[in-house]
Amino acid sequence: MSTKAYYPIAEIGAGKVGFSRTRSIIEGAFYGNNVVKVETLKEAYELAKNSPGTIVTDMPVKDGETFGLDKDAKVLLFNDGAVTGRYAAARRIKGEPGVDEVKLDKVVMDAVYKTRWKTMYHATCFVGLDKEFMAKAHLLIPEGEENLLYNWMLNFQYMSDEYVKMYRDSKPIGDGKEPDIYIFSDPQWVPEEAPDVDYSCLSDPLTLCYFDTNQNCAAILGMKYFGEHKKGTLTMAWALANRNGYASCHGGQKEYSLEGGKKFVASVYGLSGSGKSTLTHAKHAGKYDAFGGIKVLHDDAFIINTDTCSSVALEPTYFDKTADYPTGCPDNEYLLTVQNCSATLDENGKVQLVTEDIRNGNGRAIKSKLWSPNRVDKIDAPVNAIFWIMKDPTIPPVVKLKGAALASVMGATLATKTSTAERVAAGTDMNALRIVPYANPFRTYPLVNDYEKFKKLVSEKNVDCYIVNTGDFMGTKCKPADTLGILETIVEGKAKFEKWGNFDDIEIMYDWSGKTADFKPDMNNAEYKAALKAAMQNRVDAVKGFAEKKEGYDKLPDEALAALEKLVAQC
């Protein structure tokens, strides 16, 4: 599927698709006489390499010529300053209660005007890697931000001959009613007093990430961190997919090939730092290689067709933390660019990276598609299981959820801890549990849309649903060996789930491959039962909050609340 870039004269005008006020402000900026088109990755690389402040390391880009770079391209390092994580507080979503689009449109209008004195770069990429779903996205960003431009073109699919042909062969998304994605970004923007501009509409005084997702456009102002541009683009692609019959997924997916030609497709959902990338890329010591091995779709962004249950990746590369990849690590051979790390000279006087979050938290790198040799852009086999990754100390390492309403609402009340990938207010308790529905803080549409999509997968498509705890269970660490062993036991059809306590709709598994400790919950322990009940009550309170906050914008069906209240009563 493709998006729409060109309009017959009769289709241009007020009230027609692709011509909202916000979109007209943003898209018009792309056609200014101060705009320079950047057509290829080679051009973007040269711009980024020569941009002030770029550190050109002596680390070669492995096989760069296979994806549009020169053979002698080097890994580029660029550091953003004090901000090294995403900042959700800056987001304003057009159409949500309390969002003043009239004032916000004028803020963006003024920001666009001020860029007339700057050279602006225009890049184009594809989001979605199969002709079933491909959206064309455009980024406009000022001179001086060449590294952001280059990273964006690397993170998404640059317009290679192969993908241009695939795009041409694809069918229009939404019967041709979905326009291209347009993103206007000015990281150098600073709010200044100006006639008819009222900054009281901002949720943060110095930054803004403003989305008109129904019209596939956004403005990102005052934000230098690349993650804002990556997730900002995905925000619109996920919303576009949601409108057209897909479940939008912030997570990872892999396909296991098993004995007898069987397939098992597992989807894992969790925030950065939850273990979703580790689980997605785990090769399980090659135990499935004899049957065809493992295929990886992606570890961060994909969509599931809720009719066919096939899945499509949205990005070719990986935006991963560098904390666990020390200097000299073999995985670093696949780095393309690096952000918010340091550099030093080795014994030969060569510029090398300094990773492991020594400089700051949340050091990041874009890794090439080649890092995962078993990578695919689409998995045709239907998804078999959903795993909600939580870090809730009251939940055992694995439980199975019965009933579509409970399975989906548990995803809507996914409990986890804040990661260093996020910029939060000073004094925030990083260990405190918080609710992040479906591990996706980038939703710009009502929560019920995701609830219904995942419920459909369970109720109509017979997808199983589990919770896995990758944190600790009442003080005992759930190690990676436990989680991987749990996955293997389920995938291989060896899992034995049984009734857990008084619960009618939750089953528990006590044994799995590679188990490292005794995680059996003591249902006679009053302290544990009280903690478990409190955790379930927190979910009840969260769902009640969805119905009250933002004028009920994220209200879930009554059945969702009832499923959770039943758990509390049975604790």
Task: Render each residue's pLDDT in the chain as its tens digit; 571 residues.
Answer: 589 888 889 888 888 888 899 999 999 999 999 999 999 999 999 999 999 999 999 999 999 999 899 999 999 999 999 999 989 899 999 999 999 999 999 999 999 999 999 999 999 999 999 999 999 999 999 999 999 999 999 999 999 999 999 999 998 988 888 999 999 999 999 999 999 999 999 999 999 999 999 999 999 999 999 999 999 999 999 999 999 999 999 999 999 999 999 999 999 998 877 888 889 999 999 999 999 999 999 999 999 999 999 999 999 999 999 998 999 999 999 999 999 999 999 999 999 999 999 999 999 999 999 998 899 999 999 999 999 999 999 999 999 999 999 999 999 999 876 555 555 455 445 456 789 999 998 999 999 999 999 999 999 999 999 999 999 999 999 999 999 999 999 999 999 999 999 999 999 999 999 999 999 999 999 999 999 999 999 999 999 999 999 999 999 999 999 999 999 999 9
- On whether the CB atoms of residues 454 and 448 are closer than 8 A, the answer is no
Output the CA–CA distances (angstroms, integers) from residue 219 to 123, 146, 157, in the order listed.
15, 17, 21
- On whether the CB atoms of residues 140 and 183 are closer than 8 A, the answer is yes
| DSSP3 helix / strand / coil % (the chain, rounded to 5) | 35, 25, 40
Quick check: pTM over 0.85?
yes
Tokens 């190690």, located at residue: 479
Question: Rounded distance, CA 246 to CA 518, Å?
Answer: 39
Question: Rounded distance, CA 101 to CA 190, Å?
Answer: 19
The C-alpha angle 255, 257, 260, rounded to 5 degrees, equals: 145
Of all helices (H) and strands (E), which one includes residue 537?
A: helix 526-548
Output the CA–CA distances (angstroms, integers) from residue 81 to 85, 226, 363, in the order listed.
11, 12, 12
Phi, psi torsion values for 502, nearest 5 degrees: -90, 0
The C-alpha angle 481, 486, 491, rounded to 5 degrees, equals: 125
Cα distance between the two ends of the chain = 47
Residues in the chain: 571
Q: Which residues 6+ apart lie within 8 Å of 129 measured at CB? A: 157, 163, 312, 313, 314, 315, 316, 377, 378
Q: Where are the beta strands (DSSP E) in 188-298?
A: 208-212, 217-221, 246-249, 251-257, 263-269, 294-298
221: helix, coil or strand? strand
